[in-house]
Amino acid sequence: MVFTVRNGKNKKVNMKYATLDASHDPVMILHFTGEEPTEESFDDYLNLYLNAVKQKKGRGVVMEAKKVGFVPVKYRIKQGKFLKEHEALLKKNIAGIAFVFKSVITRFMITAVFVIKKPPFPYYLTGDLDEAVRWVQQKIKEQQSQEEVL
């Protein structure tokens, strides 16, 4: 599965596990559908995400996960390996990621995980999608300002 945004045209890709919305480029929003992941749908999500990150430096990501339930251990392990394998690329190309979770408890648990293993990019946890988009847009501006100085 390939993700492309060319000539300013917007692209929205729908999958069973997640929908990728690039209509706010350079911000991409991953909306998780709430469907139980399968091997195929989880791999599609990871491949689409990787292709989108590879295509553009300075991208901001919003992961809107209000509908996500319990993610089986095998997929959490797979995602952990994915993040480790692509850590340098994620650090280089992502200005920041905002995670949107409905539950305060989930946000607290994610914060605890990030204390143990901090992501290689700036991150923000919230329950509000608009707030997440604003935060990511600010991180993109900050990264662009830093690059202009260099």
Q: What are 60-82's pLDDT values in tens digits?
A: 999 999 998 888 889 989 988 99
Parallel, antiparallel, or unpaired: how do β-strands 18-24 and 12-14 relate? antiparallel
Mean pLDDT of 36-65: 90
Question: Rounded to the nearest 10 degrees, how much is the dihedral formed by the CA atoms of 47, 80, 94, 149?
Answer: -140
Give the model's confidence band at 133: pLDDT under 50 very low, under 70 low, under 90 confident, else very high.
very high
Q: What does the alpha-carbon distance between residue 33 and residue 96 come to, in Å, rounded to a whole number?
A: 22
Query: For residue 67, what are the β-bridge partners?
Result: none
Domains with residue ranges and CATH for the chain:
12-144 (3.30.750.24)
Higher model confidence: residue 94 or residue 111?
94
pLDDT at 11: 63
Portion of the chain with pLDDT greater than 70, in percent: 89
78-99: b or e for each residue (b if 16 or more CB lie within 10 Å)? bbeebeeebeeebeebbbbbbb
Residue 49 · residue 78 · CB < 8 Å:
no
Higher model confidence: residue 6 or residue 104?
104
Rg of the chain over Cα atoms, rounded to whole angstroms, equals: 15
Peptide bond into 119 cis (omega under 30): no
Answer whether residue 4 shows pLDDT above 80. no
Write down the number of H helices and E strands in the chain: 5, 6
Give the model's confidence band at 100: pLDDT under 50 very low, under 70 low, under 90 confident, else very high.
very high
